[in-house]
């Protein structure tokens, strides 16, 4: 190989090395943007400290009621519903707590037979009822603006926990919110009264905080 | 261990091929992972929602843009620089980034960590410990950073123990160490293979060099052989019996025949040249070869006729039969030799005639002598008889004239008395008979001489062998008549197809030898020997036995009996050509055999067998 060819190869490799370095930075930036997106919480309204009288949702006196608001189409709803299901499958929780999953009403109702349908999955959760939130009235009563918002009221109607059941957007697995609900119900362990909510905006499409780009 | 540049080059080549091969594998792996990720997000989270409004989910954008960024850069490098060290590191980073994303997407499920182990194993295919270190560093960094910032995305739980990172790093390091050791072991094997392949290449080089040398030597030998073969009078040839074509004739052969190679392969190249007189013999030869029989031992003579009318005598020495229906051998141009042989044969014949001339002259002289005496006697008798006739005519005239005839009668009586008429009446017919007999004997001798000395025929003709023997005995009579008696025992023989002049010559040579052998024994004595000549027809052959009661052949001379110019006779009596000619005529020219039995002091018997096969073929 003559000198010109050697220099050409060397130049090409310098460019390739520079490109690789830039690529590495881009890779880190992409991962960072994912983390940022996943850990950005949704909006919340004030959750009433007492069970709203005007609510039409079932609440049995003497029993805890865990209400979960979901957007029926949002992919993050699957993670929140999965955590809700995990809690409701706990024997102690099921013994003392009733579940209510409230789906936001959409103009175009989702296909209940579609794969991964949250509406269909919610029907399989023990000790739980499904409700369609017409015009978002219940969400407004409970101050729920983002899908995945859960509120736990005890048998006296007092709010014991408000917030998400996942630690980030669409992320299943052990998290503080789930543990807090469990701690409240079982009376053991540390319980945080509030955690951020991760999910899709339930009603207001113009809210910029719902879905960052 | 220090290795030479060749081994290094072979090793580097093998390693580069390995890297390129592994790179091709990673090309497809990364591509499939990316496409799978895009497909997964399109199925699981295609859109994000805010009430009734929806938009493309950020996951989709991330899969396309982030996944594309993660994948395309290594793909380009894998395609353009598959064996470059940086490519391996970029691939290591990209592959482990995919592991990180997978773990993250599955919420840190511990099972998804197996993707890391699989990815490291794939990277180990490069057998580059540095790439493994990079991959391990990416995993460790990802676990460390995300463990601090977003622990549930990597460990599946929100508040892992502080040492969880170390635990994961330890497992990854464990695998990394195993893989590095494996890579080192594999590299050592590659070095060994390079050593072996260089040793093999060198051995091959040496063998090829030897082959080249041998090939050159072989070419030289072939050239020497070709030069030797094509510049001698020997003409190698090969004839294909199946197609009746000459497949090879050495160039000097073509020159001798006046043909070029273009006509060599024509079917009538050979047959068109064979002289008609030899075609039967050649056909027999080829038939034998077609049957897979070995050709006749010794040589095979044949005559070819060129297109210009001249002839070419060839002597073929044929190789033993070779499979594949090929007839091979060497031909010698013996035209000149044949001419010399013919001249020699004629000279020997003339020498025989010359040598026999005095004996023959004597044989002729005896009858001529007594014919002459008888004619003279008849002449004298005629004079006396005519005188008597005159006297008798005078008596008749006197009686016719009426004269006294007493005187005339007395004169006639005296003339009759003088002529001894009774004697003449008895002896004149005898004299005439002797003359006729003598003239007959002369005629026989002359005819025998004529038959014997007749120029050789170029074609075989039918011969009465018994008569030929009689003629030969006649002209040789003077050789044996003083020392031996001849006893003949001729059996009935069919006509023998042969060259008569040559056969006569052979028989004469044997008879003269017999006479000489007897003469050596009986010289100075009153004794006489015996020459016995027998003929018989036996098993398709004619057998001639000529036995003498001569000296016998000394054992030391028997082996050289047929050698040219070998003789035991004194100078002037033998030339050493007699028996070689007998053998040549009987064996070579007629396909027969010559045998002899001899006992010193008792005599010798020669047995000549001549096949009747020619005659049989003619009859057929």
pLDDT tens-digit series, residues B137-151:
999 888 888 888 888
Contact B66 A34 (CB under 8 A): yes
Compute the nearest-CA separation of B8 from chain A (Å).
18
Contact A173 B107 (CB under 8 A): yes
Q: What is the pLDDT of residues A150-170, one digit of tens each?
A: 999 999 999 999 999 998 888
Residue A24, burial from CB neighbour count under 10 angstroms (0-12, 13-18, 19+): middle
Amino acid B618: pLDDT? 36
Q: How far apart are CA A103 and CA A141, in angstroms?
A: 14
Task: State the nearest Cα–Cα gap between B199 and chain A, in angstroms.
Answer: 27
Q: How far is A61 from chain B (nearest CA, A)?
A: 32
Beta strands in chain A (DSSP E): 64-70, 97-104, 128-133, 149-153, 159-164, 194-195
Q: Which residue of chain B is at minimal alpha-carbon distance from A136?
A: B51
Task: Lowest mean pLDDT of A31-40, A138-147, B253-262, B274-283, name the range.
Answer: B253-262
Pairwise pLDDT comparison (B295 vs B76), residue with the higher score:
B76
Q: Given this model, what pLDDT does residue B573 score?
A: 63
The dihedrals phi and psi of B220, each to the nearest 5 degrees, come to -65, -45
3-state secondary structure B213-233: HHHHHHHHHHHHHHHHHHCCC
Between CA A210 and CA A199 the distance in angstroms is 8
pLDDT confidence of residue B564: 66
What token pair was written down for A131? 């409700």
Q: What is the pLDDT of residue B617?
A: 38
Q: 3-state class of B81 per DSSP?
A: coil
Beta strands B47-50 and A194-195 are unpaired
Say what the pLDDT of residue B134 is: 92
List, in sequence order, every beta strand (DSSP E) within B180-299. 234-240, 245-249
Give the burial string for B429-445 (b: 16+ CB within 10 Å, else e). eebeebbeebeebbebb
The DSSP annotation for A81-143 comes to: HHHHHHHHTSHHHHHHEEEEEEEEP-SS---TTSTT-HHHHHTTSTTEEEEEEGGGHHHHHHT
Per the CB < 8 Å rule, is A13 touching B84? yes
Contact of A167 with chain B, judged by CB distance below 8 Å, is answered with yes
Under 8 Å CB-to-CB from B139, ≥6 apart: which residues? B96, B99, B100, B116, B168, B169, B172
Partners of B84 on chain A (C-beta within 8 Å) are 13, 16
Cβ partners under 8 Å of residue B541, min gap 6: B592, B609, B610, B611, B612
Which residues, in sequence order, are CB contacts of A104 under 8 Å at separation 6+? A69, A70, A71, A72, A133, A136, A139, A147, A202, A203, B51
- The answer to whether A18 contacts chain B (CB < 8 Å) is no
Q: Are B125 and B20 in contact, with CB atoms under 8 Å apart? A: no
Query: Which residue in chain A has the smallest CA separation from B150?
Result: A35
The answer to whether the CB of A143 falls within 8 A of the CB of A69 is: no
Residues B402-413: what's their mean pLDDT?
78
With cut-offs at 50, 70 and 90, classify the pLDDT of residue B500. confident
Residue B324's region, left for phi above 0, alpha for psi from -120 to 50, else beta, is left
**Average pLDDT score, chain A:** 88
CA distance A31 to chain B (A): 8
Q: Distance from CA of residue B262 to its chain's centroid?
A: 22
The structure's pTM equals 0.52
Tokens of B416: 């009759």
Q: Which residue of B has its CA nearest to A172?
A: B107
Residue B402's SS3 state is coil
Contact assignment for B49 to A172 by CB distance below 8 Å: no
Instruction: Region of B51 please: left (phi>0), alpha (psi -120 to 50) or beta.
Output: left
Reply yes or no on whether the pLDDT at A211 is more than 50: no
The pLDDT of residue B267 is 67
**Residue B49 and residue A71: Cβ atoms within 8 Å?**
yes
CA distance B606 to B609: 10
Q: What is the pLDDT of residue A62?
A: 93
pLDDT per residue as tens digits for the range B529-578: 999 999 999 888 999 999 999 888 888 887 777 776 667 766 556 666 67
Task: Supply the pLDDT for residue B25.
Answer: 94
Residues 6+ apart with CB under 8 A from B488: B469, B470, B473, B532, B533, B534
**How does DSSP classify residue B492?**
P
Higher pLDDT, B255 or A144: A144
Positive or negative, the CA dihedral B469, B475, B480, B484 is: positive
Best mutation target among B41, B43, B49 (most A Cβ atoms within 10 Å) is: B49
More confident residue, B362 or A213: B362
pLDDT confidence of residue B262: 63
Neighbour tally for A75: CB within 10 Å? 22
Band of residue A207 on the pLDDT scale cut at 50, 70, 90: very low
Kindly state the tokens that stand for A59. Answer: 């609440």
CA distance B327 to B415: 91
Cβ distance of A104 and B51 shorter than 8 Å: yes
Q: A156 to chain B, minimum CA–CA distance in Å?
A: 31
| Predicted confidence (pLDDT) per residue in B64-78, tens digit | 988 898 899 899 889
pLDDT the model gives residue B362: 76
- Residues B152, A39: C-beta atoms closer than 8 Å: no
> Are B348 and B577 spatial neighbours (Cβ–Cβ below 8 Å)?
yes
Whether chain B has a CB inside 8 Å of the CB on A108: the answer is yes
Q: Which of residues 109-148 of A touch B (CB under 8 A)?
A: 115-116, 147
Q: Please tell me the distance from the alpha carbon of residue A141 to that of residue B490, in angstroms, as a whole number.
A: 158
Residues of B with CB below 8 A from A205's CB? 50-53
Which of A20, A37, A147, A199 best probes binding to B when mutated, by most B CB atoms within 10 angstroms? A20
Q: Does A190 touch chain B (CB under 8 A)?
A: no
Taking an 8 Å cut-off on Cβ atoms, the answer to whether A211 and B50 are in contact is: yes
Range name among A65-74, B230-239, B452-461 with the lowest pLDDT average:
B452-461
Chain centre to alpha carbon of residue B182: 64
Q: What are the chain B neighbours of A208 within 8 Å (beta carbons)?
A: none
Residues whose CB is less than 8 angstroms from the CB of residue B514 and which lie 6 or more positions away in sequence, other chains included:
B480, B484, B531, B546, B547, B548, B550, B604
The pLDDT, as a whole number, for residue B616 is 35
What CA–CA distance (Å, rounded) separates B443 from B483?
A: 25
Q: Which residues of B touch A202 (CB under 8 A)?
A: 51
Closest CA to A71 of A61, A84, A80: A80
Contact A52, A142 (CB under 8 A): yes
Q: Do B97 and A104 touch (CB under 8 A)?
A: no
Arithmetic mean of pLDDT over chain B = 84
Question: Considering only CB atoms, which chain B residues are within 8 Å of A74?
Answer: 48-49
Residue B45: list chain A partners with CB under 8 A. Answer: 75, 170
Q: Can you give the pLDDT at residue B223?
A: 86
Nearest CA to B394 out of B379, B376, B378, B414 is that of B414
Each residue's pLDDT tens digit, B12-59: 999 989 999 999 999 999 999 999 999 988 988 888 888 888 889 888
* Per-residue pLDDT at B300 exceeds 60: yes
Please tell me the predicted confidence (pLDDT) of residue A209: 40
pLDDT of residue A210: 40
Helices and strands per DSSP (H, E), number in chain B: 20, 14
pLDDT at B455 over 80: no
Cβ neighbourhood burial of A97 (10 Å; 0-12, 13-18, 19+): buried
Given the structure tokens 């050596």, which residue do they identify? Answer: B520
Q: Does A85 touch chain B (CB under 8 A)?
A: no
Contacts of B150 in chain A (CB under 8 A): 35, 38-39, 168
């Amino acid at each position: 190989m003559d000198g010109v060819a050697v220099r050409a190869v060397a130049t090409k490799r310098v460019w390739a090395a520079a490109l690789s370095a830039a690529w590495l930075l881009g890779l880190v930036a992409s991962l960072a943007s994912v983390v940022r997106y996943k850990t950005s919480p949704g909006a919340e309204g004030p959750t009433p400290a007492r069970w709203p009288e005007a609510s039409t949702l079932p609440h049995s006196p003497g029993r805890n009621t865990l209400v979960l608001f979901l957007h029926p189409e949002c992919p993050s709803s699957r993670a929140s519903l999965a955590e809700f299901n995990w809690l409701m499958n706990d024997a102690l929780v099921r013994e003392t707590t009733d579940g209510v999953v409230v789906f936001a009403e959409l103009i175009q109702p989702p296909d209940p037979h579609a794969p991964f349908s949250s509406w269909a999955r919610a029907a399989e959760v023990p000790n739980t009822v499904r409700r369609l939130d017409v015009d978002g009235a219940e969400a407004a009563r409970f101050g729920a603006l983002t899908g995945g918002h859960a509120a736990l009221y005890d048998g006296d109607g007092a709010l014991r926990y408000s917030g998400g059941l996942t630690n980030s957007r669409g992320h299943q697995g052990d998290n503080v919110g789930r543990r807090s609900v469990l701690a409240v119900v079982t009376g053991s362990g540390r319980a945080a009264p509030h955690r951020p909510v991760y999910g899709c905006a339930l009603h207001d499409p113009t809210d910029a905080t719902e879905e960052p780009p | 261990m220090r290795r030479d540049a060749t081994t290094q080059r072979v090793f580097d080549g093998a390693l580069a091929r390995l890297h390129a091969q592994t790179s091709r594998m990673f090309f497809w792996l990364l591509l499939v992972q990316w496409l799978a990720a895009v497909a997964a997000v399109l199925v699981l989270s295609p859109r994000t929602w805010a009430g009734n409004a929806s938009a493309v989910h950020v996951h989709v954008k991330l899969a396309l843009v982030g996944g594309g960024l993660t994948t395309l850069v290594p793909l380009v490098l894998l395609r353009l620089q598959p064996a470059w060290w940086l490519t391996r590191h970029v691939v290591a980073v990209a592959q482990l980034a995919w592991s990180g994303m997978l773990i993250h997407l599955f919420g840190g499920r511990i099972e998804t960590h197996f993707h890391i182990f699989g990815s490291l194993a794939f990277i180990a295919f490069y057998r580059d410990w540095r790439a493994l270190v990079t991959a391990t560093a990416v995993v460790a960094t990802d676990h460390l950073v995300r463990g601090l910032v977003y622990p549930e995305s990597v460990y599946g739980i929100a508040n892992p123990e502080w040492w969880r990172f170390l635990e994961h790093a330890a497992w990854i390091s464990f695998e990394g160490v195993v893989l590095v050791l494996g890579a080192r072991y594999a590299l050592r094997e590659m070095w060994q293979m390079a050593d072996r392949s260089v040793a093999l290449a060198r051995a091959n080089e040496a063998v090829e060099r030897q082959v080249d040398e041998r090939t050159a030597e072989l070419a030289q030998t072939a050239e020497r052989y070709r030069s030797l073969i094509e510049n001698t009078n020997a003409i190698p040839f090969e004839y294909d019996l199946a197609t009746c074509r000459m497949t090879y004739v050495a160039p000097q052969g073509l020159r001798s025949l006046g043909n070029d190679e273009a006509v060599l392969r024509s079917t009538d190249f050979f047959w068109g040249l064979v002289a008609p007189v030899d075609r039967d013999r050649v056909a027999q030869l080829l038939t034998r070869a077609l049957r897979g029989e070995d050709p006749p031992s010794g040589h095979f003579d044949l005559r070819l006729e060129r297109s210009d009318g001249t002839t070419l005598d060839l002597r073929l020495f044929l190789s033993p039969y070779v499979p594949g229906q090929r007839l091979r051998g060497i031909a010698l141009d013996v035209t000149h030799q044949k001419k010399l042989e013919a001249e020699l044969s004629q000279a020997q014949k003339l020498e025989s005639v010359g040598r026999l001339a005095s004996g023959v002259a004597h044989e002729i002289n005896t009858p001529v002598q007594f014919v002459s005496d008888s004619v003279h006697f008849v002449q004298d008798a005629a004079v006396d008889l005519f005188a008597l006739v005159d006297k008798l005519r005078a008596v008749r005239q006197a009686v016719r004239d009426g004269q006294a005839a007493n005187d005339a009668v007395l004169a006639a009586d005296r003339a009759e008395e003088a002529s001894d008429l009774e004697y003449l009446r008895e002896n004149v017919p005898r004299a005439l008979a002797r003359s006729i007999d003598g003239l007959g004997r002369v005629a026989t001798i002359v005819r025998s001489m004529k038959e014997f000395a007749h120029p050789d025929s170029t074609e075989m003709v039918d011969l009465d062998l018994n008569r030929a023997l009689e003629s030969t005995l006649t002209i040789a009579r003077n050789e044996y008549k003083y020392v031996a008696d001849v006893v003949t025992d001729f059996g009935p023989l069919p006509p023998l197809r042969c060259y008569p002049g040559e056969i006569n010559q052979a028989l004469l040579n044997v008879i003269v030898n017999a006479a000489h052998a007897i003469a050596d024994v009986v010289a100075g004595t009153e004794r006489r020997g015996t020459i016995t000549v027998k003929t018989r027809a036996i098993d398709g052959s004619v057998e001639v036995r000529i036995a003498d009661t001569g000296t016998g052949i000394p054992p030391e001379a028997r082996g050289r009996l047929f050698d040219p110019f070998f003789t035991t006779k004194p100078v002037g009596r033998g030339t050493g050509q007699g028996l070689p000619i007998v053998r040549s005529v009987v064996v070579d020219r007629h396909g027969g055999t010559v045998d002899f039995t001899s006992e010193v002091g008792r005599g010798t018997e020669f047995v000549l067998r001549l096949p009747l096969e020619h005659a049989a073929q003619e009859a057929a």
